[in-house]
Amino acid sequence: MVIQEIPKVGTAVIGGSSLIGSGFPKLFEGVEVELDEVAFHTPFGPSAPFSLASAEDLRFLFVPFHGITKEIKNTIPNSAGERVFYVLMKAGVKKIIGTALCGSTNRLLDPADVVIPDDFVDYTVYRAQSLSRSLAEKGVEVEPIAYRLHQPFCPYLSRLLVEASKKAGFPRVFSRGVVGVSEGPRLESPAEIRVRYTDLGIDVVTMNLVPEVYFAREIGACYAALELVSNYGEGVVSIKWEGREAFRDFQERWRRPAAEAILDALKKIDEGYEACGCTTHRWRSIFNP
Ligand SMILES: [Zn+2]
C-alpha cells in the first residue's frame, strides 16, 4: 500500500541486520502501532514499508533494514537512503537511531560486543553523497546545505544507547569506536581487512552506516548507531568462523536484546534536547546542490 501523506514525527529508527526477525517494534510490550507497513511517495519512487508506533508517549517512525527491499537497492540512483531520508525530512524528524551487525577489525573485539561509534570512514563508491543534490536532480527545490562532520554521531543519543545496551545484557559495551563502511555486498579478504581497516585504526566494518550518518546531519537531525559485532573480520583472530554461526545463530540469540536496547533508549529521548549541538554543525551553502 502506498499512501501520500507523511505524518509529522520527531523521532525515527532505521533498522538493520541486528533487528531482523526481532518483531521490533510491534511485538514489544508497551508499544502501540498506529500505522503498519505503509509506504510513502518520494521523488525517488515509493519508500520501503514504514511503521508508525509509540512507546511511553514518544512517537517514532521505523523502517526495517535501512529501507532496502527486493526492489530498492542501497546504491544510486533512487537508493534506499534517498527515499528514507526524504520521508524523515518531510516528517520533521530530529532524532534518529540506526543499527547494524558488523565485523570486528580491532583484535580486542569479540562477537556480542556492542560499539556505539564516534567516528567513521566511508569506503563506499555508489552511495548518494548529498540529499539536496539528489532532490535537485529530481526537480525538487531545496535549500542547499553545507555541514561539518567533526562530531558525526550525536553524543546525547549515543549516551542513551550505551546505557540501554548495558541494561539489555550485552557482555561489553564500548562508548567509542571507528566504523569503516564497505560497499558490499561481498565480505572482505584478510588483506583488505588488515590494510584498509585494522592498520588504520578502524574498529569495526559494516555496509550501511552511510548515507545515514551524513544525511541525518543534512536534514538537521541527531544520529547515533548501535553496532553489534557478529563476527571477526577475516584474518583478525581466526578465519574459522562459519556464516551460519555468525549470522543465523548469532542473530537469533542477540536480535531481541538489540531491539530492547533501542526501545529503552527511545523511551528516554527528549525530542527538544539541543545541547548536543548537532543542529549547529550545518548552514546554508553558497553553492547550488
Ligand atoms: Zn545531537
CA–CA separation, 99 vs 226, rounded Å?
A: 5
Q: How many CB atoms lie within 10 A of CB 20?
A: 15
Rounded to the nearest angstrom, the distance between the alpha carbon of 274 and the centre of ligand 1 is 6
Q: What are the φ and ψ backbone dihedral angles of 59, each rounded to 5 degrees?
A: -85, 140
206 pLDDT band, cuts 50/70/90, is very high
Provide the 3-class DSSP secondary structure of residue 284. strand
Chain centroid offset of residue 127 CA: 14
Q: Over 90: is that where the pLDDT of 289 sits? A: no
User: Which CATH superfamily, name and number, covers 6-269?
Assistant: Nucleoside phosphorylase domain (3.40.50.1580)
Rounded to the nearest angstrom, the distance between the alpha carbon of 284 and the centre of ligand 1 is 19
**Contact at 8 Å (CB) between 168 and 257?**
yes
Rounded to the nearest angstrom, the distance between the alpha carbon of 286 and the centre of ligand 1 is 25
**pLDDT value of residue 55:** 96
Q: What b-and-e string marks burial along 197-229, b requiring 16 or more CB atoms within 10 Å of the CB?
A: bbeeebbbbbbbbbbbbbbbbbbbbbbbbbbbb
Rounded to the nearest angstrom, the distance between the alpha carbon of 77 and the centre of ligand 1 is 29
CA–CA separation, 169 vs 254, rounded Å?
A: 10
Once rounded to an integer, what is the mean pLDDT over residues 121-135?
96
Rounded to the nearest angstrom, the distance between the alpha carbon of 254 and the centre of ligand 1 is 27
Rounded to the nearest angstrom, the distance between the alpha carbon of 119 and the centre of ligand 1 is 14
State the DSSP H helix or E strand holding residue 38, giving kind and residue range, or none if neither. strand 31-40
**pLDDT value of residue 227:** 98
Rounded to the nearest angstrom, the distance between the alpha carbon of 204 and the centre of ligand 1 is 22
Q: Over 80: is that where the pLDDT of 244 sits? A: no
249 pLDDT band, cuts 50/70/90, is confident
**pLDDT value of residue 144:** 87
151 pLDDT band, cuts 50/70/90, is very high
Provide the 3-class DSSP secondary structure of residue 258. helix
Rounded to the nearest angstrom, the distance between the alpha carbon of 115 and the centre of ligand 1 is 18
Rounded to the nearest angstrom, the distance between the alpha carbon of 223 and the centre of ligand 1 is 7
Strands 11-14 and 204-206 come out as: unpaired
Rounded to the nearest angstrom, the distance between the alpha carbon of 222 and the centre of ligand 1 is 4
Rounded to the nearest angstrom, the distance between the alpha carbon of 288 and the centre of ligand 1 is 26
Rounded to the nearest angstrom, the distance between the alpha carbon of 71 and the centre of ligand 1 is 32
Q: Which three cell numbers stand for residue 242?
A: 562459519
Q: Is the peptide bond before 7 cis (omega within 30 degrees of 0)?
A: no
CA–CA separation, 123 vs 3, rounded Å?
A: 35
Q: Which three cell numbers stand for residue 257?
A: 536484546
**pLDDT value of residue 247:** 76
Rounded to the nearest angstrom, the distance between the alpha carbon of 225 and the centre of ligand 1 is 12
Give CA separation, 131 vs 86, 163, 250, 276, 284, in Å. 8, 32, 35, 23, 14
Of residues 233, 232, 214, the one with CA closest to residue 223:
214
CA–CA separation, 209 vs 187, rounded Å?
A: 15
